[in-house]
């Protein structure tokens, strides 16, 4: 389904000549998508670009509350060899998005009434809404062996697992809960709480919205942000 969507998107963008795009209200499209089907429109909203997805919210409140009644999926065509989303610069900015409304494309999960097939994104003046960025945890494996991390999130079911070779750093969004370090044979040898209590909030990097942790042979311990400045954190779009 995803490959078909990308081919379909490419055909629309590649074969359709430039035309005038009517600027329409976000809610008008969501309430009656068939009225705008196959039409080239411009819609204003708050962009949330993560990985290979582009979600458009009517406003900040809809984004905060994950209000799917005021949400639109933006279908993108990725250039060959792209390693990152070409629209990530727009993440958590208010934008004007121009493209075609297609009721035959039902979002990345196949349940949306329509999608907007992207042609152009214009970032509107104003700061990035960093309050919606998730808090990241950076974990550096300072042991001599490959380890696994298993995170348990408080308040909802499910866990997340990550493998880290010796000397490497892994990063993922964290919330309240705990993380355990295990051997490749699934034997737990260290654990710690996530997110640290406010009493030790000096470990929180407010600029990047992140915590840093080192994993030794018998413990996981937080690292002060100034002591993690030399860490290779990788690409940090929208955080530096």
Pairing mode, strands 53-57 and 40-50: antiparallel
How far, CA to CA in Å, does 237 sit from each of 78, 84, 121, 126?
18, 10, 17, 17
pLDDT attached to residue 180: 93
| Low-confidence stretches of the chain (pLDDT beneath 70) | 1-19, 156-159, 197-200, 237-238, 240
pLDDT attached to residue 64: 94
Contact 118, 97 (CB under 8 A): yes
pLDDT attached to residue 109: 81
Tokens of 89: 């610069």
Give the burial class of 187: count Cβ atoms within 10 A of its Cβ; 0-12 exposed, 13-18 middle, 19 or more buried: exposed
Contacts with 161 (C-beta within 8 Å, 6 or more apart), sequence order: 148, 149, 150, 151
pLDDT attached to residue 14: 41
Give the Cα-Cα-Cα angle 111, 162, 50 (nearest 5 degrees).
Answer: 40
pLDDT attached to residue 80: 86
Own/partner long-range contacts of 64-73 (Cβ < 8 Å, ≥24 apart): 64/132, 69/30, 70/26, 70/27, 70/30, 71/30, 71/112, 72/26, 72/29, 72/30, 72/43, 72/45, 72/112, 72/114, 72/115, 72/116, 73/105, 73/107, 73/108, 73/112, 73/115, 73/116
Kindly report the pTM of this predicted structure: 0.72
pLDDT attached to residue 4: 39
Write the pLDDT tens digit of every residue in 58-110: 999 999 999 999 999 999 988 888 888 899 999 999 999 999 999 999 987 88
């919210």: which residue's tokens? 57
pLDDT attached to residue 8: 43
* Phi then psi dihedrals of residue 227, to 5 deg: -85, -5
pLDDT attached to residue 228: 94
């Amino acid at each position: 389904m995803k490959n078909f969507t990308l081919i379909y998107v490419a055909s629309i963008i590649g074969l359709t000549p430039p035309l005038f795009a009517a600027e329409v209200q976000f809610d008008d499209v969501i309430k009656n998508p068939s009225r705008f089907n196959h039409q080239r429109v411009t819609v204003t909203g708050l962009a949330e670009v993560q990985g290979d997805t582009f979600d458009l919210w009517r406003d900040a409140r809809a984004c905060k509350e994950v209000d799917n009644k005021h949400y639109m999926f933006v279908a993108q065509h990725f250039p060959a060899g792209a390693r990152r989303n070409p629209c990530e610069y727009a993440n958590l900015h208010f934008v004007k998005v121009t493209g075609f409304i297609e009721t035959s494309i039902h979002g990345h999960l196949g349940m949306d009434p329509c999608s907007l097939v992207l042609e152009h994104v214009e970032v509107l003046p104003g700061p990035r809404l960093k309050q919606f960025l998730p808090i990241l945890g950076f974990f550096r494996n300072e042991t001599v062996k490959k380890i696994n991390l298993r995170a348990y999130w408080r308040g909802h079911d499910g866990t997340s697992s990550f493998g880290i070779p010796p000397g490497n750093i892994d990063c993922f969004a964290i919330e309240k809960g705990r993380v355990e370090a295990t051997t490749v044979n699934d034997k737990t040898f260290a654990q710690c709480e996530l997110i640290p209590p406010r009493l030790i909030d000096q470990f929180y990097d407010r600029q990047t919205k992140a915590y840093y942790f080192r994993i030794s042979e018998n413990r996981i311990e937080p690292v002060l942000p100034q002591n993690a400045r030399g860490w290779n954190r990788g690409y940090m779009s929208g955080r530096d």
